[in-house]
Structure formats: structure tokens, C-alpha cells
């Protein structure tokens, strides 16, 4: 599977670890950057490009990494077609794929050990979307909004 990885300085060490780990597992890894450690870099460009590459490459998945993972998730989700989920436990990473068909996982490198963060990514990559009709329906609603920017009607109370 092709996996795109992007980070900022806070996620640089974890990103480099994951590039090595995922390559050894046989994944086609694309390092979106940064390619050198720069304590002054900013996450948006790396996360936006990671998300855009995932959307343009059907069947691929992405990983964005920062200090908390929050900003990185927000940035990736600005790209139409990205469904980025912040993972803080293996079960959350799995649910992001099973229920939301998330195509990008966001990790807070300052919040987890290398082993914990790696387990989140491994679980994310190994878990398929459930295909459950109610989950598919919800994802379709989000996709429709991305295409027409029309807010859906609220259900009657």
C-alpha cells in the first residue's frame, strides 16, 4: 500500500521512524517532508500536501504528525476528500477506518512513545472500512457537502 507521510519539526523523529518501519513492512512510502529537521518549520504545508496526495492517489493512505496532532488533523481536513482522524489509542485508529473510512491518521508525537504511535499507524493501515450502510451513508453526506457546499437539511425535532 502507498502511504504518504508529512510532519513538522515536532513530528520529524516519529516520521523518520515510520518511514523506516513501514518500508520494512513492504509499504510504498512517500515522505512528503520535511526532509531535514528545522525547529522553525510550520505544519500546514506538509499536511495539506500529504492530504492532497492521498486524495489524488486512490487506495493510498496518509499519516500526518505534529506535537499534538490537532493542527495537523485540521490542516489535512481542509483538503476535499480527506477524512483525517486524530488517533490516541489503537481502538480509535481502527474505528477511524472501520466507521469513517478515514484516509489520513494524525498523531501527536509529543503525546506518545514511538512504540505507541507506531501501533496506531499499524492498526490504521491494517483495518479496512466496514462498508456498513449507515457509515457509508454518513460519508456520502460529507462528500456531497464537499462537492456542492450546500448544508444539509436538519432533521425535524
- Catalytic residue among 9, 49, 72, 112, which? 72
pLDDT in tens, 107-156: 999 999 999 999 999 999 999 999 999 999 999 999 999 999 999 999 99
Give the model's pLDDT for residue 50: 98
Known catalytic residue at 72: yes
**141 lies in some domain:** no
**140 lies in some domain:** no
**81 lies in some domain:** yes
Mean pLDDT across the chain: 98
**157 lies in some domain:** no
Residue 105 belongs to domain with CATH number: 3.40.1400.10
Alpha helices (H) along the chain? 12-24, 43-56, 70-76, 90-100, 114-126, 133-148
Q: Indicate whether 31 pLDDT > 90.
A: yes
**19 lies in some domain:** yes
Q: How many folded domains does the chain comprise?
A: 1
Range of the domain at 75: 2-130
- DSSP conformational letter for 78: T
Q: Counting Cβ atoms within 10 Å, is residue 2 exposed (0-12), middle (13-18) or buried (19+)?
A: middle
Q: Indicate whether 157 pLDDT > 90.
A: no
pTM, two decimals, is 0.97
Pairing mode, if any, of strands 84-86 and 2-7? unpaired
CA atoms in the 13 A half-sphere facing the CB of 113? 3
- Catalytic residue among 17, 27, 99, 135, which? 99
The average pLDDT across 74-82 equals 98
Amino acid at each position: 500500500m502507498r502511504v504518504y507521510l508529512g510532519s513538522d519539526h515536532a513530528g520529524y523523529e516519529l516520521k523518520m521512524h515510520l518511514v523506516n518501519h513501514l518500508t520494512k513492512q513492504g509499504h510504498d512510502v512517500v515522505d512528503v517532508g520535511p526532509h531535514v529537521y528545522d525547529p522553525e518549520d510550520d505544519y500546514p504545508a506538509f499536511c495539506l500536501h500529504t492530504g492532497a496526495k492521498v486524495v489524488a492517489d486512490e487506495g493510498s493512505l496518509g499519516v500526518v504528525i505534529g506535537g499534538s496532532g490537532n493542527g495537523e488533523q485540521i490542516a489535512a481536513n481542509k483538503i476535499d476528500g480527506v477524512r483525517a482522524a486524530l488517533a490516541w489509542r489503537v481502538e480509535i485508529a481502527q474505528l477511524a477506518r472501520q466507521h469513517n473510512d478515514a484516509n489520513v491518521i494524525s498523531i501527536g508525537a509529543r503525546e506518545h512513545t514511538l512504540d505507541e504511535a507506531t501501533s496506531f499507524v499499524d492498526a490504521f493501515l491494517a483495518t479496512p472500512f466496514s462498508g456498513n450502510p449507515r457509515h457509508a451513508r454518513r460519508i456520502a453526506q460529507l462528500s456531497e457537502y464537499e462537492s456542492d457546499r450546500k448544508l444539509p437539511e436538519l432533521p425535524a425535532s
